[in-house]
Amino acid sequence: MNDSYMQNLFAERIGGKNYGKSTAIYKFEKIKRAKRAALAAHPGAEIFDLGVGEPDEMAFPEVVAKLDEEARRPENRGYADNGDSVLKEAAARYLDRVCGVKGINPETEVLHSIGSKAALSILPAALVNPGDYVLMTTPGYPVFGTHSKYYGGLVHQLPLLEQNGFLPDLESIPKDVLARSKVLVLNYPNNPTGASATPEFFARVVAFAKANRLIVLHDAAYAALVFEGKPLSFLATPGAKDVGVELHSTSKSFNMTGWRCGFVAGNELLVRAYGDVKDNSDSGQFLAIQHAAAYCLDHPEITEKIAAKYSRRMTGLVNVLQKCGFKAVKPKGSFFLYVKAPLAATSGKGARLEFKNAEEVSQWLITEKLISTVPWDDAGSYLRFSVTFAAKGQDDEERVLDEIGKRLGEVRFEF
């Protein structure tokens, strides 16, 4: 078929004339295809999906009831634009009560987002000029970097290595890159490593940002999902508000991925700039959803219940994987367990298979064991297991974990 004239009109940032012609298959598509093939090869068999990056359950009934009530109010029906004060005030209370962040001004230092992904796609427009560097951690959630590149920005990747507790080595940034850098993006508890930051690390980040005139964006999508103690907010660090903002989301902490609601809080000027671009990008999240999200922020015990479930599942999964030889260590938060990928596997029948990388392991696990994980080969080869696998109650959860143990127990792994 001849190309339509349209083929020549795409922007270079999405491939220009070659847009849509690539035959490369990306990681998540490969996983999907392998799952489909495994099911076709084993009709009726149960696949355990530990690859999903979102909660397995619905929002709590009281939150759904709040949405129902708010959706019926005529005054909530229209464009929300940059929002009313309900979510802003709840966010400031939440930061104070749950994270110990004092003195956030709800009117000037908080603004809602249609989820953190949307905020991460909006913020580059406010900050990145062509040729500016942004500092991102790898492996990681790439959205801010992708949009920065759309604006002509450059991404410098900071590897998250086990020997550094999966915290970036800020001293490793080449001087010329640092001189042209504007933004440092962090995410703790981290996707995919499950690692948590420390107050000391955040204090170093604030000092580093001030010394090098950097803006810090802390993506706190998993911040509230902690297995012990209180959530650690970057904004609780002295001086943090001088250098950055933090992005919170109801997606993971309140089982509300589809609802699309979160907030950006911190430095007033940055919040204002985010609001100015946002105002030109969307017309705000439905006020009924914002008000239901505000209800959540005033009920952090919901998150505590969700985190307790993940903590229990995580303990079970760590035990199962340890018994099979994986060096699994329970993280302090999130729902991700990040473990070194094996180099080889010998099955019960004696066949030994070597793996080049985590992607090969992940494909093999789906095909041979019907266990889905997400491979990461960006900084070492690791598998990400998520404890958001489907299970109906605690007994079923134990059954799933036992079955995973049986399937993996038939194999001798080499690391």
User: By the criterion CB under 6 A, which residues form the site for ligand PLP?
Assistant: 53, 115-117, 141, 187, 191, 219, 221, 249, 251, 257, 262
d(CA 239, CA 214): 13
Give min distance, CB of 135 to ligand PLP, in A. Answer: 16
The DSSP bridge pattern shows strands 215-219 and 244-249 to be parallel
Give min distance, CB of 115 to ligand PLP, in A. Answer: 3
The count of C-alpha atoms lying within 13 angstroms of the C-alpha of 174, restricted to the half-sphere facing its C-beta, is 7
Is 274 or 364 the residue whose CB approaches ligand PLP more closely? 274
Residue with tokens 């889905």: 372
d(CA 129, CA 214): 14
Give min distance, CB of 314 to ligand PLP, in A. Answer: 17
d(CA 194, CA 202): 17
Is 324 or 337 the residue whose CB approaches ligand PLP more closely? 337
Give min distance, CB of 112 to ligand PLP, in A. Answer: 11
d(CA 244, CA 2): 50
Is 194 or 300 the residue whose CB approaches ligand PLP more closely? 194
Give min distance, CB of 380 to ligand PLP, in A. Answer: 19
Is 196 or 251 the residue whose CB approaches ligand PLP more closely? 251
Q: Residue 166, exposed/middle/buried by CB under 10 A (0-12, 13-18, 19+)?
A: buried
Give min distance, CB of 136 to ligand PLP, in A. Answer: 11
Q: How many beta carbons lie within 10 A of that of residue 206, not counting itself?
A: 19
List of residues 6+ apart from 318 with CB closer than 8 A: 328, 329, 330, 337
Is 38 or 185 the residue whose CB approaches ligand PLP more closely? 185
Give min distance, CB of 119 to ligand PLP, in A. Answer: 8
Measured N-to-C along each axis, helices 61-71 and 287-297 cross at an angle, to the nearest 10 degrees, of: 140
Is 257 or 319 the residue whose CB approaches ligand PLP more closely? 257
Is 141 or 389 the residue whose CB approaches ligand PLP more closely? 141
Question: Using omega within 30 degrees of 0 as the cis cutoff, is the peptide bond preceding 74 cis?
Answer: no
